[in-house]
Amino acid sequence: MRQSHLFTKTRRDAPKDEVAKNAQLLIRAGYIHKEMAGVYSYLPLGARVLDKVERIIREEMDAIGGQEIRMATLHPSENWKKTGGWDGVDVLFKIQSRTEKEYALGQSEEEIVTPIAQEYASSYKDLPVAIYQIGQKYRDELRAKSGIMRGREFGMKDMYSFHESQEDFDRFYAVVKEAYFKIYKRCGLDAKVTEASGGNFSEKISYEFMVLTDAGEDDIVYCDACTHCANVEVSAQKAGDMCPKCSAALRSAKAAEVGNVFDLGQKYPKAFGFKYKTKDGKESYPIMGCYGLGTTRLMGTIVEVLSDEKGILWPKEVAPFPVHLISIAGGNSVVSAEADRLYELLKDNGIEALYDDRDARAGEKFADADLIGIPSRIVISEKTMSEGGVEVSSRDGGATSLLSENDVIERIKN
């Protein structure tokens, strides 16, 4: 995409009321637009990043047998009254129609997915089943000061599974856990998993996936010698305590929750009278699991963790474009023609580039490129042309090298 055609522009300052680093950088670079506290629109660059995050999640959920659907976000109040959520969930947005009917805006979809599964899973032969969607969610938060990490409207992948037994839920949880770790790794993040309380969702246990960052809202302790990780609030463990698994000393940190799994037991199937026929001809309520992963929150966490004083450092798989082609022509039409040619060559090789073809100073172009944070950068200038190559560098400060066109294409593809 030619940067001269991109309708967004970078800006020097974030809005004064924006305190979260993720939103400050994303607004300044033109990824998002703030509508009000906790509500953002995603502009061309931001929508591309979100698409890529969603694609990674979709691939990993499909790989473990998840089946994607799209559920309604406008919910009948009756379903929420059946489960007790209408009065019990404080963040639920409730809407009154002019016909005086009441609706809820989806903040989670147990109330919708349980009746759907009920319609199709009547026998043990239909279980287990795992259903997911990626879409918008709404929460009536009192405070929303964490940018896109905690919104009143936000993107989320939520999957729900139904099982014959607790053992089968536990088996599937282990599979999902590995898929989640793959997702975080592909997004450039190092996550840990903790056991935590069930919150207001569940009568049983839950697991939280955590990424260490000072922008996080949770205090955790973790062990460097093994995988042990616990929420301080829930476990009452603290820094310096002995790790319960390997007896090394625990460390403490701030962390952001980037995913969670709830073992919901039979709560929702019971609320909707969802029973299936067991192998021995009896009837039973399935065991249900819920697997959340906030897509916009994940994007915000990436920015919090992978940024410096100049801007964002996107990992390759989620960057809006894998390469930023920068033409430093300074009015020299031979240089611009060469940059145009390279842009077309990249396109012909299936490489999407953001092409800075604007008539702007070199310093401004580089500052914008640092802020936008595309991982690989190619510069074409009189100097690189006289040296007979293409200058390639990386946003994370790796060495600059002069390469042939073919080598550049190979390097970006791999």
Q: Which residues are near Zn ion by CB under 5 A?
A: 223, 225-226, 228, 243, 245-246, 248
Q: Which residue has the tokens 């043990």?
A: 124
Of 121, 151, 116, 120, the closest CA to residue 132 belongs to 116
Of 326, 414, 329, 410, the closest CA to residue 372 belongs to 326
Strand ranges across the sheet with 93-96: 74-76, 102-105, 93-96
Instruction: Work out how close the CB of 242 gets to Zn ion at its nearest, in angstroms, rounded to a whole number.
Output: 9
**Separation in Å, CA 67 to CA 44, 62, 90, 129:** 28, 7, 30, 8
Closer CB to Zn ion, 210 or 392, in the complex:
210
Closer CB to Zn ion, 19 or 246, in the complex:
246
Q: Which residue has the tokens 């967004």?
A: 8
In three-state form (DSSP H/G/I as H, E/B as E, the rest C), the secondary structure along 127-143 is CCEEEEEEEEEECCCCC
Contact criterion met (CB below 8 Å) for 53 and 59: no
Instruction: Work out how close the CB of 245 gets to Zn ion at its nearest, in angstroms, rounded to a whole number.
Output: 5
The type of residue at 2 is R
Instruction: Work out how close the CB of 249 gets to Zn ion at its nearest, in angstroms, rounded to a whole number.
Output: 9
Closer CB to Zn ion, 91 or 236, in the complex:
236
Instruction: Work out how close the CB of 248 gets to Zn ion at its nearest, in angstroms, rounded to a whole number.
Output: 5
Instruction: Work out how close the CB of 256 gets to Zn ion at its nearest, in angstroms, rounded to a whole number.
Output: 22
Torsion of CA 104, 106, 111, 114, to 10 degrees: 150
Instruction: Work out how close the CB of 273 gets to Zn ion at its nearest, in angstroms, rounded to a whole number.
Output: 44
Instruction: Work out how close the CB of 229 gets to Zn ion at its nearest, in angstroms, rounded to a whole number.
Output: 9
Question: How many CA atoms within 13 Å lie on the side-chain side of 221?
Answer: 19
Closer CB to Zn ion, 152 or 228, in the complex:
228
- In degrees and rounded to multiples of 5, residue 127 shows phi and psi of -115, 155
Token pair belonging to 86: 């209408």
Closer CB to Zn ion, 74 or 226, in the complex:
226
Instruction: Work out how close the CB of 226 gets to Zn ion at its nearest, in angstroms, rounded to a whole number.
Output: 3
Which pairing describes strands 376-381 and 323-328: parallel, antiparallel, or unpaired?
parallel
Q: How long a stretch of residues is the chain?
A: 414
Closer CB to Zn ion, 133 or 237, in the complex:
237
Calculate the CA 221 to chain-centre distance. Answer: 23
Closer CB to Zn ion, 215 or 253, in the complex:
253
CA pair distance 286, 273, nearest whole angstrom: 10
Closer CB to Zn ion, 63 or 226, in the complex:
226
